[in-house]
Amino acid sequence: MILNPAKRELLAAELLEAEGLSPEGRSLTKDAMRRLCRNKAAVVSIVVLVLLILVAFLGPYFIPHNYEDPDWAAFRAPPSWEDGHYFGTDPNGRDLLARVLYGTRVSLAVAFVATLVSVVIGVLYGAISGYFGGRLDSIMMRFVDIMYALPYILFVILLMVIFGRNVYLLFAAIGALEWLTMARIVRGQTLSLKHREFVEAARASGQKPLKIITKHIIPNLVGPVVIFAALTVPEIIATESFLSYLGFGVQEPLTSLGTLIAEGTDAMESMPWLLAFPAVFLVSLLLSLLFIGDGLRDAFDPKDR
Amino acid sequence: MTDQTQKDVLLELKDYSITFKTPDGDVKAVSNMNLTVRRGERIAIVGESGSGKSQTFLGIMGLLAKNGQTSGQALLEGRDVLALKPRELDKVRGKDMAMVFQDPMTALNPSLKISRQLTEQLEIHRGFTAKAASIEALDMLKRVGIPDPTRRFNLYPHELSGGMRQRIVIAMALLTKPKLLIADEPTTALDVTIQAQILDLFNDLTAEMNTALLMITHDLGVVAGLADRVAVMYAGNIVEEAPVDELFEKPAHPYTAALHAAIPRPDQDVDDLVVIPGRPPNLQHLPKGCNFSPRCPKVQDDCIDRPPQLETLAPQHCAACFHPFPRREELLTHA
Amino acid sequence: MLDQNTPGQTLLKVENLTTQFEIEAKSFFRKPTMLTAVNDVSFELKEGRTLGIVGESGCGKSTLGRSILQLIRAQKGRVVWQGKNLLDLTPEQIRLARRDMQIIFQDPIASLDPRMTVGDIIAEPLTVFEPKLSRAQRLERVQEIMAAVGLVPEMINRYPHEFSGGQAQRIGIARAVITRPKLIVCDEPVSALDVSIQGQVITLLRKLRKEFGLTLIFISHDLSVVRLISDDVLVLYLGRIVEAGDCATVFSAPAHPYTQALFSAAPIPDPKLARQRSRIRLQGDPPSPMNPPPGCPFQPRCWKSTDICRTQMPPTELVRQGQSAACYHMDRPPEA
């Protein structure tokens, strides 16, 4: 018996179903997230990072001391369970646990603010420069070159003079310096994207240039941008620590991980806990961010592994 | 089999399979393939993308991706190349069998001069001195039809056109006088007029050097003028194998027939285009019966139940189908 | 010069179109080096007809298609479309004209934005040209067109990478026809597809051409595919038209040596014929468009070339009714 065409189509449809093709599509981002979830190091890092964030932002409400008031009964106290100074106190009698938590909070906030600023400026600047090309591109990129050539620390000191009193503004400004590399990466990606056929197809469909940038170019930059941003966060935390160490960063009594480590190094021999606890926090924060960045890179570019 | 025919056999695939391990499960790219290549014979392996035609021979050359695994036997002059150690395989690869790829640039090192790439082969595999090697290499360049070979000898690959590069790659492959030349879509990236030149070159050189040629291609048209025998692959299996004239005149498997009828012809006006409905199956979810059954105009209940095996229909002609031999008119009514 | 005598309204007229690329930027010391990809091309296209453009890689066929659509700006000549010369229009005016002229690409998957769903991809031209449509109306139009190109409407929320090449090309075709354009440039739409799928796409294009009254420009390197779908054909070599005419005439009696060589080199899926026929063996490669040979572009590879071919570009002449070629030594019909 020969099957009729209708039965043959039914057969083909059954096969399609067997391939597990549900009507809901799997987007590339969902695919990437699925791959990320299979990466053990990245998953552990995400858990660590989430815990650190929760502890830093909720922790202070559950501990007996706050970060700025000295405990007159305990100066330079080593860690102990009895008096509630679980991480000990500093030379001014302030609770180290509270200060570490607060410092983590400041470091994280500063890093995310700076990264956000650098991503927004860098992506827009790079995409516009790369997409329009020609003379506009030359001018915009020469400006980036000039900015690169100026010494970083000099800039930070200048910004200090201007924004000295406000930590978040200072780091927004640092973000405004960090965007240079982001802009270059994005421009390079845009240059190759704009010759891809789907961008040409959008032009042929009569789409406006700015719409092409926002609808086609920028969504396709998600991979490299997310990866670079994930690697920028630890870089800025390290920069902040470095600046605070030099005395340019966060002002007393506010603190950050970098400041705490700077203070801790001074008293490393007499009060090792002052160095050890903030260092453990900083290292776990940086490592988890780096692993997440790596995991994202593998997830978005599975071919490059 | 008599002693003489046994001696005649160059490559023999026995129950040869390739499996790829992927996160979503194992994928069988080639399953239980049997094929015999005799000395000096020209065989074409025809199939669409995903038919496993390229993987088959990458597997023999030991060039599969890391997650690929071969099983069965591939006997080259009686020696199983699948069982060879990487070191030994290297020797066989350079000397007894050579491969030409679709994109000549993948085979050429962009930072070395043509001369160096050619002579290196000879110095390593055949122990030539530098001077003897360049004489031999220049001679080979002449034979593959490169005009002005002495000048081109000292150029870099990017300074040559696509057709010239493919000629160089062919020269490289033939320098060590291999017994088997595997060509994987060697003309797909080239223009029609250049394709014709390269096909002529294969024709002349393999006859001259008595090299067996395995031509892997998706294009039945290319095969017609070149091959002695054709094997058609679909979803990892050989579905039909026959001498070239017989395959074109009396295709037995509906897939071969449809493929043949679907090729547009430059020399004929075709108003009723034969269309094969659907698309090749996903290798991870093959049908229970014949792989071609969802697209086949002649499908019947037994085709859905169990897969057909290769059966001999005429001398040297076998096909894997329960209901072979549809005619072109039959195909048209189903398109 | 092409099909002046076929009845019907002229939809598109291309006159002396020349497209050049700057391959080495102008600097203080020297003029920019220019590559001429399309050289002095003229033809006329009547409404409802399909024009095949054939040539080998680097002959400028894709550039010609894109120059007509102004995706690449041409330097000289005229592209007359709906009474206006497209070369004179501002970018904004050209953008608005795109509603009526669309393109289908060679690599079906690469021409679809990987981060958009199929529904959004197909709807994009609608959002540009008919922004007043409600969401529901737009969805209806998208589903209607998906059915017309043979896609199941349930696929609307899938992403391009989940499709095979043939299906992806259907999506590209749906996007091109959704605004009901008059002209579609098909740039090698089937060369990236398997033989069994090629036929499906050609059949679909033929069907849509009839249903929507489309005029097509079908660019391909493959003579056989062009023969399946075209009414007229242009043969391009090194940016110039070497032969043009209606398909039946050109395919039955090619006049220009290059066209003859192309036919002779095209593989024929018939072993006996393939062995019998005498091939014209062309020597060498097409010359680089960066330094074209003097005179006729085909002259260095041509077995008929004489002194005059090496000094002067042959003029385009009528061979017979419905066929013209540019060659001093072309095969002319016997004098009547």
- CA distances in angstroms from B249 to A305, B332, C266, listed in the order given: 48, 17, 20
The more confident residue out of C328 and B91 is C328
Residue A18: what pLDDT? 43
Check CB contact of B196 with chain C, cutoff 8 Å: yes
> How far is it, in rounded angstroms, from Cα C270 to Cα B265?
10
Distance CA A215, CA A127 (A): 12
- Contact: C197, B279; criterion CB under 8 Å: yes
Whole-number Å distance between alpha carbons of B68 and B62: 10
Structurally, chain A folds into a number of domains equal to 1
Q: Name the percent of chain A lying above pLDDT 70.
A: 83
Interface of B with A (CB under 8 A): 23, 278, 281-282, 284-285, 287, 293-295, 298-301, 304, 334
If you classify domain C10-325 with CATH, what class do you get? alpha beta
Sign of CA dihedral C44, C50, C56, C61: positive
Chain centroid to CA B321: how far?
23
Going by the DSSP 8-state scheme, the letter that residue B145 receives in this structure is T
Of C111, C114, C128, the CB nearest to A28: C114
pLDDT band at B142 (very low <50, low <70, confident <90, very high): confident
Res C30: pLDDT? 67
- Percentage, residues of chain B above pLDDT 70: 94
Higher pLDDT: C32 or C239? It is C239
CA distance A170 to A162: 9
DSSP structure string for C62-124: HHHHHHHTTSS--SEEEEEETTEEGGGS-HHHHHHHGGGEEEE-SSTTTTS-TTS-HHHHHHH
Helix (H) or strand (E) holding B138: helix B130-143
Q: Work out the minimum CA distance from A27 to partner chain C, whole angstroms.
A: 6
Task: Please tell me which residue of chain C has the smallest CA distance to A134.
Answer: C25
- Backbone conformation region of residue A296, classed left if phi is above 0, alpha if psi is from -120 to 50, else beta: alpha
pLDDT tens digits, residue range C265-288? 888 888 888 888 777 878 777 888
User: pLDDT band for position A17 (50/70/90)?
Assistant: very low
Residue B83 contacts C where some CB pair is shorter than 8 Å? no
Name which of C322, C280, C275, C330 is nearest C306 in CA terms: C330
Helix then strand count (H, E) for chain C reads: 11, 12
User: Which 8-state DSSP code applies to residue B85?
Assistant: -
Percent of chain A with pLDDT over 90: 18
**Contact between residue A128 and residue A238 where contact means Cβ atoms under 8 Å apart:** no
Whole-number Å distance between alpha carbons of B165 and B306: 47
Inter-chain residue contact A19 with B334, CB threshold 8 Å: no
Task: Report helix, strand or coil for A75.
Answer: coil
Instruction: Report the half-sphere exposure of C71 (CA within 13 A, side-chain side).
Output: 27
CA distance B219 to B48: 9
Is the peptide bond between C131 and the residue preceding it cis, with omega within 30 degrees of 0? no
- Whether B273 sits inside 8 A of C202 (CB atoms) is yes
In order, the DSSP letters of C113-151 are -TTS-HHHHHHHHHHHH-TTS-HHHHHHHHHHHHHHTT-
Task: Label residue B232 by pLDDT band (50, 70, 90).
Answer: very high
Backbone phi and psi for residue C304, each to the nearest 5 degrees, phi listed first: -105, 0
- Mean pLDDT, chain B, integer: 86
Helix, strand, coil percent content, chain C, rounded in steps of 5: 35, 25, 40
For residue A6, is pLDDT > 60?
Answer: no
pLDDT(B152) > 80: yes
> In one letter, which amino acid is B102?
Q
Predicted complex ipTM? 0.86
Specify if A23 maps to a domain: no
Query: How far apart are the C-alpha atoms of C258 and C256, rounded to whole Å?
Result: 5
Please provide the DSSP assignment of A115-178 as one string: HHHHHHHHHHHHHHHHHH-HHHHHHHHHHHHHHHHS-HHHHHHHHHHHHTT-HHHHHHHHHHHH
pLDDT in tens, B67-96: 888 999 999 988 899 988 888 888 888 788
Residues of B in contact with C57 (CB under 8 A): 162, 191
CATH number for the domain spanning A233: value is 1.10.3720.10
CA distance to B15, B18, B87, B91, per residue, from B72 (Å): 5, 9, 21, 21
Q: Which pLDDT belongs to residue A2?
A: 39
3-state class of A219 per DSSP? helix
pLDDT at site A15: 46
Q: Is A34 on the interface with C (CB under 8 A)?
A: no
Alpha carbon C67 to its chain's center: 11
Task: Report the length, in residues, of chain C.
Answer: 336
- Judge: A5–B334 Cβ closer than 8 Å, yes or no: yes
pLDDT at B261: 85
| Contact assignment for A201 to C114 by CB distance below 8 Å | no
Of residues A301 and A194, the one with the higher pLDDT is: A194
Contact with chain A for residue C21, Cβ under 8 A: no
Q: Does C195 contact B196 at a Cβ distance shorter than 8 Å?
A: no
Which tokens belong to B232? Answer: 């058609």
Task: Tell me what pLDDT residue C154 has.
Answer: 82
In the predicted model, is pLDDT for residue A253 greater than 80? no
Assess if residue A200 is contained within a domain. Answer: yes
* Residue at C34: amino acid letter: M
Q: Decide if pLDDT at A26 tops 80.
A: no
- The verdict on residue A9 lying in a domain is no
Which residues span the domain enclosing A196?
39-304
Q: Cβ distance A234 to A290 under 8 Å?
A: yes
Distance of alpha carbon C87 from alpha carbon C68, whole angstroms: 9
- What are A182-209's pLDDT values in tens digits? 899 999 999 999 888 999 999 999 999 9
**How are beta strands C323-325 and C317-320 bridged, if at all?**
antiparallel
Q: At C250, which helix (H) or strand (E)?
A: helix C247-252
Contact C225 B161 (CB under 8 A): no
If pLDDT is split at 50, 70 and 90, which confidence band does C2 have? low
Is the pLDDT at B106 greater than 70? The verdict is yes
Of residues B159 and A157, more confidently modeled:
B159
Point out the least confidently predicted range of B216-230, C68-82, C283-297, C308-322: C283-297
- Residues of chain A found within 8 Å of residue B25, distances taken between Cβ atoms: none
Identity of residue A189: Q
Burial of A155 (0-12, 13-18, 19+ CB in 10 A): middle
Residue type at position B84 = L
pLDDT at residue C201 in the model: 92
Pairing of strands C101-104, C183-187: parallel
Q: Which residue has the tokens 């209708």?
A: A6
Chains that touch A (3 or more CB pairs under 8 A): B, C
Q: How far is B91 from chain C (nearest CA, A)?
A: 35
- Angle (deg, nearest 10), helices C135-148 and C165-177: 130
Q: Are C77 and C16 in contact (CB under 8 A)?
A: yes
* Interface contact flag, B284 A15, Cβ < 8 Å: no
Instruction: For strands B42-46 and B212-217, give the pairing.
Output: parallel
Per-chain mean pLDDT for chain C: 89
State residue A64's pLDDT score. 72
E strand or H helix at B79: strand B79-80
**Structural fold of domain B3-109+179-334:** Rossmann fold (3.40.50)
Which chain C residues are Cβ-neighbours of B276 within 8 angstroms? Answer: 196, 199-200
Of C71, C110, C154, which has the smallest distance from its Cβ to A23's Cβ? C154
CA dihedral of C187, C190, C193, C195, whole degrees rounded to 10? -160
Chosen for mutation from B293, B298, B305, B332 (greatest number of chain A CBs closer than 10 Å) is B293
Range with top average pLDDT, A261-265, B311-315, C201-205: C201-205
Whether residue C127 is predicted with pLDDT greater than 90 in this model: the reply is yes
Strand partners, A130: none
The closest alpha carbon to C186, from C221, C213, C156, belongs to: C221
